[in-house]
Chain A
Amino acid sequence: MNNTIGQALLAAFLGKKRIIAETGAGQHGVATATVCARLGLECHVFMGASDVKRQSLNVFRMKLLGATVHAVESGTKTLKDAMNDAMRDWVANVDDTFYIIGTVAGPHPYPLLVRDFQSVIGRETRRQCLEKTGKLPDALVACVGGGSNAIGMFYPFLSDESVELYGVEAGGLGIETGQHAAPLCAGRPGVLHGNRTYLMEDENGQIAGTHSVSAGLDYPGVGPEHSWLKDIGRANYVSVTDDEALAGFRTLTRVEGIMPALETSHAVAYAQKLAAGMDKDQIVVINISGRGDKDIHTVAELDGIEI
């Protein structure tokens, strides 16, 4: 909600009556629909047709909140196509419409806006960690699709050089298969959606299709600030596969009673690996960026269970 509240207040300040948003897993769509309901703004959410199918719970939530959900049939029918259609809507309705982008990508000033609104995550983490443990964490772990939860977590720690930053991308079926969504691990710089960043693309500059078990990470680009953090070596970008993420999902659910989103489960899975090589008195913070209720159908289907 951090980002959507900030942007919706900005929209209201600008006098815009109509809000559009793109969403992958539906988290950002639900957040936008929620704040629109609260502020009395008309809300249209663009969502790839294949994500509408795999995230039906969130689609229903958005509708309950009064939003219109547009299933996007073009291209690969996932998050990037939702973003394309949101931009197309925006240029046609720019007079009365504000576009609430859900990630730290997109044209300037969105990467900056979204980072600042999401930074409440890192600021609270930093303060709470100091209060409770008297020291800074040793490592932060967050999943990275577009990278908004991760940048929100990382940003207030950038100058704390003792704090290692780990962004976990979707390794899908494995980086070597090409079926993944890990532009920082396996992509190259290019331009998409108004920003220059690491992208998944073919040798001719066409944007590549992505694969991830989690719709929210299924994006071929990444926020440009993550690309910068990678290039200067301040943050580490790694990937975990669909299977590892699913194992992380189960572990956190069973051990802590917290059911994480499949996106978040990537961070959980990597944190387990990371922690295995650390001392007991060291601190790892995982950003539990989303809840897993919305993914129950996906997990059940993988287990061959019909709900």
Chain B
Amino acid sequence: MSRIEGVLKSLKEQGRKALIPYITAGDPHPDQTVELMHTLAAAGADIIELGVPFSDPMADGPVIQLACERALKHGTSLRQVIGMVREFRKTDTKTPVVLMGYLNPMVAMGYREFADAAAQAGVDGVLTVDLPPEEADEVAPLFAERDLDPIFLLAPTTTDDRIRAIAEHSSGYVYYVSIKGVTGSASIDVDEVARKVAHVHELTALPVGVGFGIRDAKTAAAVGKVSDGVIVGSVLVNTIAEHQTDPAALNQALTDLLHPMREALDNQVT
């Protein structure tokens, strides 16, 4: 059983929902990322999505675009991001880490080399925004052999046939994009998300995480009620931007954001 599967299974047994924060590696500075990951874990993160910065983040709104630019200014590369996970694993062996990014850095590194390095460093899942499952045949066996969970996105416009096909290529969880749009955009319609996630649950046995547009405890709780986990990104990245020159304040601010979400999610216990 992969680390992701284990965590989600144990949460399910407790009737709890996963809190999955996202930050961009290398933002505001590569030296701070590992500490920020520990902060997220201490504040209640069940899984961490660690963004791999890319020059052309097509699925991201301005907040994460700017985070990528800050990280790339310091030369943050995919190899370095894997190194950060290796460092994180020295003291945290239980919090799963999912690398979220775009395909080209992986192509440049080479699929096999990437899969080897990621697995050895303790990466648990890989979400590649611009890798559709039908193009994933080359990487899929490399990931499977190393217990790396391939995670794919489902959109509000994804058809039933495609949801089934994507789920077949996925392990760990599927990521339901709650809105039509890029990360950090309009606020979400919780009823609509509830309907759609319930429908996704009918089509796959995999846990469903919901992201894009969750920015406060209230929304997190409402979405947690209908899904297996909530993914929170832009609001955290925005906080990182606001406190980029003050690491101590930054750690506190992230904790202050996540704590109420954690509590709100846990109060949903049924």
Contacts and interface: CB of A to CB of B under 8 A. Distances in A.
Partners in one complex: yes
Interface of A: 74-75, 80-81, 84, 87-88, 91-95, 189-194, 199, 201, 203-207
A80 B65 CA distance: 14
Given A92-B180, A192-B56, A206-B54, A74 B65 contact: yes
B73 to A, nearest CB: 11
Given A204-B79, A205-B109, A93 B180 contact: yes
27 contacts: A74-B62, A75-B55, A75-B65, A75-B69, A84-B58, A88-B59, A88-B182, A91-B155, A92-B179, A92-B180, A92-B185, A190-B104, A191-B130, A192-B104, A193-B56, A199-B104, A203-B108, A204-B79, A204-B105, A205-B54, A205-B78, A206-B54, A206-B72, A206-B104, A206-B105, A207-B56, A207-B104
B182 A206 contact: no
B107 interface: yes
Interface in B83-141: 102-109, 130
B27 to A, nearest CB: 15
Of the candidates A75, A191, A201, the one having the most CB atoms from chain B within 10 angstroms of its own CB is A191
Of the candidates B57, B78, B107, the one having the most CB atoms from chain A within 10 angstroms of its own CB is B107
* Secondary structure dominating the interface of B: loop
B61 interface: yes
Given A192-B56, A194-B130, A91 B181 contact: yes
Contacts of A192: 56, 104
3 tightest Cβ-Cβ pairs between the two chains A and B: A205-B108, A205-B105, A92-B181
Given A95-B180, A205-B107, 17 more contacts: A84-B57, A88-B61, A88-B181, A91-B180, A92-B180, A92-B185, A93-B180, A94-B157, A189-B107, A191-B103, A191-B130, A192-B56, A201-B108, A204-B78, A204-B79, A204-B105, A206-B72
B106 A84 contact: no
A95 B155 CA distance: 13
A105 to B, nearest CB: 13
Contacts of B60: 88
A201 B77 CA distance: 13
B55 A190 contact: no
A181 to B, nearest CB: 15
Interface of B: 54-62, 65, 69, 72, 77-79, 102-109, 130, 155, 157, 179-182, 185-186
Contacts of B55: 75, 206-207
Nearest to B66: A74
Contacts of B109: 204-205
A95 B156 CA distance: 11
A191 to B, nearest CB: 5
A206 B103 CA distance: 10
Contacts of A204: 77-79, 105, 108-109
Of the candidates A87, A91, A95, A190, the one having the most CB atoms from chain B within 10 angstroms of its own CB is A91
Nearest to A208: B55
Nearest to A194: B130
B107 A190 contact: yes
Contacts of A206: 54-55, 72, 104-105
Nearest to B103: A191
B58 A193 contact: yes
A205 B179 CA distance: 29
Contacts of A207: 55-56, 104
A201 B182 contact: no
Contacts of B59: 88, 91
A153 to B, nearest CB: 28
A190 B131 CA distance: 12
B62 A191 contact: no
Given A192-B56, A193-B58, A92 B182 contact: yes
A233 to B, nearest CB: 23
A81 B56 CA distance: 7
A263 to B, nearest CB: 22
Contacts of A81: 56
Contacts of A87: 58
Contacts of B181: 88, 91-92
